Structure 1
């Protein structure tokens, strides 16, 4: 892997020029942007499929942009044709208005079929740790269904299973910091002893790109080197940010209700029941060895001045028109 500084920058490295075309879904988003940047840095041509082609282009026009066009398969096939690898980050964090998990599943099936028809060599798909088709949690259940369908496709494939991804533009870690900076109390749902194993976005991107180079069908947990209980993670963030907020335990139902109240104020969905139950069931911890090497503690130390300074809105990123 390339060297990463504590601040999260990719150090310069000599990489051979490549003439391949790669497609990254959501290349203007958090994880997709890091994947696209790594591909560009080694000389690949990059296309993106996005729900928001009108939004700010961080690549200055070097990435070819097309809308998803799930309803028009022939157009979707044309946007994929000529590419060798599809890096798929498409999914939804929670249902919103007419956008449901069922629709996200159907859309991904269309995308997978279009990739086969367009003659792509490989798909690298971002899933989640511990998915299961028997899961009571729709997010994890949907991810497991997609994994099965990808394995049944004609494409060579790699499935990457990240936990909580952190980095400069993440939502979860940033918003924990935002709460700790602005409120006198921080409510930890339940015991707080459930775990999570955060992974740095650049480590995920490098694992994803490396997986794209492989020929074998593989499934890899993309997880960082440190595991925390949720309470320990919150306390570490509070300490590094100099927060004076008192951290107290509350019933999960109360924590969800209060997050809903604040969500109405900031016009966002802060936390869902499905997300909280998945976290409390220890589904964001891997049973395998760490595959990322950037520690959350060192990254937080280097970025404590900026974490939580501004609220990061999921709805603004995904569903509201860019200003």
Structure 2
């Protein structure tokens, strides 16, 4: 081959090599990752990320939404508007079933936040002590009712027979009744427990339902809040998912280890309004980071129990193996 032909071949190869190099170094396509969370304990672990931001990679912007009610998040998760969301675990199962597996578990972020609070005069120290008592509670037809009924039965009590349960529409209503003394025993979640015991020092938190669950189930955990991820987006953006989970785990650790700063971030993020109450509620809100793999056994048992009471509470079926296919 003569010199001119060699030069031509080398020129073509050089152009090809430069083009390949340019393709490899081309910046990622810009995208906005939309993340939703509920106010209250479900969102507390995300506070540092909301306030300080999170780096998910080049050309990726993160946009956070804090919602007051689950239905404000549900539609956005189903439509794909939200790529990541912090929701109750039973709602995660509903979303998985409704989308036929397009929503998967990222991590469990909250254990149980339910407590029995009672006036000291009642002498309540355990679930068994509720026999013959009347309690006020919220969450009828949803997870709190099923958890309460299950634990009553595990302790030999029949709901509505051995224990009278007066359900009210809102957690805040149950809290008001306890704080005012109109009710002397109630089951309420954090941060309402902290609010009640602050307003009425005669009322104490007497039964941790998360501990009662572990005692009744040979150490399995009551996993009530989690992160869900859009599966299609996760498959296309594995590095962004990994970065998010790493940042989330760090955020959870930060809020637990430094409640004063954590409370400030929780208020700044719009998750709670009172920093003093937030600081008191943090240690009792069971904020955790448990990967999908590590959460699977307990969560599957939890879903099975919920399904035995009301299949609709988890969307009809216990999620399949693919629900746990992601997680740090």
Calculate the TM-score normalised by the size of structure 1.
0.28
Q: Does 1 or 2 have the higher relative contact order (CA < 8 Å, sep 6+)?
A: 2
Higher strand share: 2
Calculate the TM-score normalised by the size of structure 2.
0.27
Higher helix share: 2
